[in-house]
């Protein structure tokens, strides 16, 4: 098919040309005396994206899923109690992984379309006067439903209960797109991946540990081999890795960090907020709703759009791909067939999103969804024109 594929899944996201070019390098000696000139600034700048000064950042050759495991196995022991909430496919998978690693996972089912219920959390923490709960596993941005939870609120609940549990966050689809303040919010383990807000191929698990999390390593008894941070703690300060790193990915990461920091994190967050709001204006103009039930849950990196009951969202996604070369995200698990997702994170601007909104309109009309042609495009454009 002529023309570029329009990639609007919530990850992998579009990779800027400068990152692609930065990755186009000859192989080199990763034990050379000049290699640390690449590695040290990259790991230092990575901390800025997590908004941590006291934490330590790691880059593992893996994906976000491994980041969950890195966080757990380096800080906890089998049988440790952790608290979580299940409100989408990603929170579900993290809970499942924690169980497989032998943790005692206490989790509460939350309707898909909502996020962490802060009152419930605070109450549960207050009940736990013996401090049996060792950690919270919180999915910041549930990519399956387009729901963002309030991490500052989670910290407040911990403080209100005066509870010492460690605070772990899945920030795979939020970090580098949505505001994420590791130090300020007292986050102990932050997990991300390269293919979402970082605008790179999949292949790096980007993780940060607080001082408290690093100290917890001493007594953590979960089995760990390749994912032990100890080997990184030994090698990284000198500017090296404990094994062969993917040098193209490190060059790509360096360029990704340069782009993000040059734009300025607050500008990156504001751009995501404004672009996301344009998409929401389009959804409203179509007369449709989001899976996220209330504005307080709206995600600025992905919108899950609910289709009318007599329509299979998968048909809209197929038409978009086959007829218009537009890739949308599907509904996962409980919301399969009920929603399609528009990823709006990473390397985007108004006009790139117009192509996604226009393609969605055509695919919906083709599948018998009664919307007014052009209504979503008009609503988004008007919003962006007035807020530029
Ligand atoms: C994409 C995603 C993951 C999984 O990351 P992989 O890189 O695919 O392993 C985990 N959590 C969230 C919230 C995600 O969006």
Q: Using a pLDDT cut of 90, give the percent of the chain over it.
A: 99
pTM for the whole structure:
0.98
Find out whether the beta carbon of 343 lies less than 6 Å from any atom of ligand 1.
no
Question: Two tokens at 183?
Answer: 């130090």
pLDDT one-digit tens code per residue, 180-202: 999 999 999 999 999 999 999 99
CA 205 to ligand 1: nearest atom:
7
CB 313 within 8 A of CB 340: yes
Q: Using a pLDDT cut of 70, give the percent of the chain over it.
A: 100
From-to residues of CATH 3.90.1150.10 in the chain: 6-12+264-387
CATH class of 6-12+264-387: alpha beta
Find out whether the beta carbon of 172 lies less than 6 Å from any atom of ligand 1.
yes
Q: What is the pLDDT of residue 168?
A: 98
Residue 287 CA to residue 305 CA, distance in Å, equals 11
Q: What is the pLDDT of residue 275?
A: 98
The mean pLDDT of 294-323, rounded to a whole number, is: 98
Residue 354 CA to residue 360 CA, distance in Å, equals 10
The mean pLDDT of 28-34, rounded to a whole number, is: 98
pLDDT one-digit tens code per residue, 258-292: 999 999 999 999 999 999 999 999 999 999 999 99
Q: How confident is the model at residue 219 (pLDDT cuts 50, 70, 90)?
A: very high
Burial 256-280 (b: 16+ CB within 10 A, else e): bbbbbeeeebeebbebbbebbbbbb
Under DSSP, is residue 104 helix (H, G, I), strand (E, B) or coil?
strand
Helix axes 151-160, 118-127, angle to 10 degrees: 30
Q: What is the pLDDT of residue 238?
A: 98
Q: What is the pLDDT of residue 388?
A: 81
The mean pLDDT of 121-147, rounded to a whole number, is: 98
CA 115, 117, 121 angle in degrees (round to 5)?
Answer: 130
From-to residues of CATH 3.40.640.10 in the chain: 17-262
Q: What is the CATH number of domain 17-262?
A: 3.40.640.10
1 pLDDT more than 90? no
The mean pLDDT value of the chain amounts to 98
Q: What is the DSSP string of 345-359?
A: -SS--HHHHHHHHHH
CA 66 to ligand 1: nearest atom:
9
Find out whether the beta carbon of 90 lies less than 6 Å from any atom of ligand 1.
yes
Find out whether the beta carbon of 178 lies less than 6 Å from any atom of ligand 1.
no
Q: How confident is the model at residue 176 (pLDDT cuts 50, 70, 90)?
A: very high
């Amino acid at each position: 098919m002529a023309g570029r594929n329009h990639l609007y899944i919530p990850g992998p996201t579009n990779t800027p040309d400068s990152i692609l070019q930065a990755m186009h390098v000859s192989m080199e000696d990763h034990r050379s005396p000049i290699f640390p000139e690449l590695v040290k600034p990259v790991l230092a700048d990575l901390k800025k994206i997590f908004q941590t000064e006291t934490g330590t950042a790691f880059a593992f050759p893996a994906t976000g899923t491994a980041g969950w495991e890195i966080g757990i196995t380096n800080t906890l022991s089998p049988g440790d109690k952790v608290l979580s909430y299940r409100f989408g496919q990603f929170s579900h998978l993290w809970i499942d992984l924690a169980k497989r690693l032998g943790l005692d996972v206490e989790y509460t089912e939350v309707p898909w379309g909502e996020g962490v219920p802060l009152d419930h959390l605070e109450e549960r923490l207050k009940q736990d006067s013996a401090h049996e709960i060792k950690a919270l596993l919180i999915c910041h941005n549930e990519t399956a439903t387009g729901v963002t939870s309030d991490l500052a609120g989670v910290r407040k609940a911990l403080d209100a209960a005066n509870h010492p549990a460690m605070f772990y966050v899945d920030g795979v689809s939020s970090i580098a797109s949505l505001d994420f303040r590791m130090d300020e919010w007292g986050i102990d383990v932050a997990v991300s991946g390269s293919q979402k807000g970082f605008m790179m191929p999949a292949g790096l698990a980007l993780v940060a540990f607080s001082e408290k999390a690093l100290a917890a390593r001493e007594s953590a008894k979960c089995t760990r081999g390749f994912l032990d941070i100890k080997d990184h703690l030994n090698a990284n300060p000198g500017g090296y890795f404990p094994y062969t790193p993917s040098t193209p990915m490190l060059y790509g990461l360096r360029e990704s960090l340069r782009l993000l920091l040059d734009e300025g994190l607050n500008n990156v967050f504001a751009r995501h907020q404004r672009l996301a709001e344009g998409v929401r204006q389009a959804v409203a103009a179509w007369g449709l709703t989001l899976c996220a039930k209330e504005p307080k849950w709206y995600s600025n990196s992905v919108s899950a759009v609910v289709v009318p009951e007599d329509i299979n969202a998968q048909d809209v996604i197929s038409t978009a791909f086959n007829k218009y070369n537009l890739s949308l995200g599907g509904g996962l698990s409980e919301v399969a067939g009920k929603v399609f997702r528009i990823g709006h994170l990473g390397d985007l601007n108004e006009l790139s999103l117009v192509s996604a909104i226009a393609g969605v309109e055509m695919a919906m009309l083709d599948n018998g969804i009664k919307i007014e042609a052009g209504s979503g495009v008009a609503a988004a454009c008007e919003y962006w024109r007035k807020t530029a």
